[in-house]
Amino acid sequence: MTLKDYSSAAARKKCVGCGHKTSFNSKIEYYNHEGGWLVENFNVRQWLYVKCLNCHYDNALWKLGVPGAVEESKNEWARRIVVEYRE
């Protein structure tokens, strides 16, 4: 997957912060992160997120339902499952 592919995968998803669908631009932000996604043409994993133009929330791609991140996402999902189970 290239950055462009990830960008396409993240497009038109709902922002975690405000729920708006169309407030993303197509630009994906990224930085070196061991727990991030494998991206073509990068030597190390990249943490990928899309900044919402409406509320400025940084939506990590796994929150938008784009799989590929390691560790952090697993922990976050596990935490979320526990919270949901309790409710």
Candidates 28, 12, 9; CA nearest to 20 is: 12
Q: How far is the CB of 58 from Zn ion (least distance, A)?
A: 10
Residue of the chain from 3, 10, 28, 52 that contacts Zn ion (CB under 5 A)? 52
When binding is defined by CB under 5 A, the residue of 35, 55, 72, 76 that contacts Zn ion is 55
Q: Could you tell me the two tokens for 62?
A: 């796994």
Q: Does 35 bind Zn ion (CB under 5 A)?
A: no
> 57, 14 in Cβ contact below 8 A?
no
Instruction: Give the SS3 label for residue 12.
Output: coil
54 binds Zn ion, rule: CB under 5 A:
yes
| Contact flag: residue 53 with Zn ion (CB under 5 A) | no
Residue 31: burial class (beta carbons within 10 Å; 0-12, 13-18, 19+): exposed
10 binds Zn ion (CB under 5 A): no
What residue ranges bind Zn ion (CB under 5 A)? 15, 17-18, 52, 54-55, 57
